[in-house]
């Protein structure tokens, strides 16, 4: 797996590179701003990019803008966005247009090399990854007209894990239930959220979007 790493803080950038290299990832380029990031992606065509959400010149949402541009120009390149901030609106904005191959995790978690590399591999495989800290916070924030309120406690747990990007098999291992039970819960979630029949992958993304909007 070939990666480009973008972060304007040298120590953080080099720390990420060291973790990825130790995990067997080939870091082909580094960048300290969004403009350099885009040029490096065009040159190297990596499998994945690790992108800080706030970079020069304004240190606001350059990472989000770059992530969207990368996914638009290079749809086979996964993007993992990093942030210091627990902000569900950022995650929603990031995945609502092109959810496959996109991830959003907190920087506090990246210094566990296993978490970083697992998240990166999942976005490289076109999955959607949302930091579990954000998902946990959303459990406590609901609108009065929120369709997610119709879910049972167990269905909430399953949808939270879907929002983290876990497969049905991953959910069954996390909750110590059978794959068939997870499939039944997922079908019931789709029904309660009013998601019409379509491909399961599309309905999973729509369910995650509904969940994030409920925060």
**Owner of token pair 């599309």:** 202
pTM, whole model, 2 decimals?
A: 0.68
Q: Would the pLDDT of 186 be above 70?
A: yes
Q: Would the pLDDT of 200 be above 80?
A: no
**Owner of token pair 């870091």:** 27
Element (H, E) at 206: helix 200-213
To the nearest whole number, what is the mean pLDDT of the chain? 85
Give the CA distances from residue 151 to residues 105, 155, 158, in Å, rounded to whole numbers and listed in that order: 25, 6, 10
pLDDT of residue 44: 97
- Domains, the chain, in order of start with CATH, read 2-131 (3.40.50.2300), 139-213 (1.10.10.10)
Q: Is the peptide bond before 74 cis (omega within 30 degrees of 0)?
A: no
pLDDT of residue 199: 56
pLDDT digits (tens, 9 = 90+) for 83-135: 877 666 666 677 766 778 888 888 887 777 788 999 999 899 888 888 877 76
DSSP string, 21-60: HHTT-EEEEEESSHHHHHHHHHHH--SEEEEESS-TTTSS
CB half-sphere exposure, 184, CA atoms < 13 A: 7
Of the ranges 48-52, 59-63, 65-69, 192-196, the best mean pLDDT one: 48-52
Distance CA(117)–CA(152), nearest Å, equals 33
């Amino acid at each position: 797996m070939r990666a480009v790493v973008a972060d304007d803080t040298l120590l953080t950038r080099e720390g990420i590179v060291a973790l990825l290299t130790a995990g067997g990832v080939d870091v082909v380029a580094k960048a300290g701003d969004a403009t350099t990031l885009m040029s490096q992606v065009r040159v190297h065509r990596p499998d994945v990019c690790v992108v800080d959400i706030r970079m020069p010149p304004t240190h606001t949402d350059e990472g989000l803008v770059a992530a969207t541009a990368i996914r638009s120009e290079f749809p086979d390149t996964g993007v993992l966005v990093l942030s210091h901030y627990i902000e569900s609106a950022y995650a929603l904005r990031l995945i609502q247009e092109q959810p496959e191959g996109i991830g959003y995790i907190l920087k506090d978690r990246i210094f566990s090399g296993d978490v970083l590399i697992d998240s990166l591999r999942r976005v490289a495989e076109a999955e959607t990854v949302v930091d579990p800290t954000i998902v946990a916070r959303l459990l406590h924030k609901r609108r009065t007209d929120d369709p997610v309120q119709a879910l049972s406690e167990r269905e909430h747990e399953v949808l939270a894990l879907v929002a983290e990007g876990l497969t049905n098999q991953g959910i069954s291992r996390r909750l110590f239930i059978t794959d068939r039970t997870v499939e039944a819960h997922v079908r019931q979630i789709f029904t309660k959220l009013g998601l019409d029949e379509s491909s399961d992958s599309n309905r999973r993304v729509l369910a995650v979007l509904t969940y994030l909007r409920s925060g």
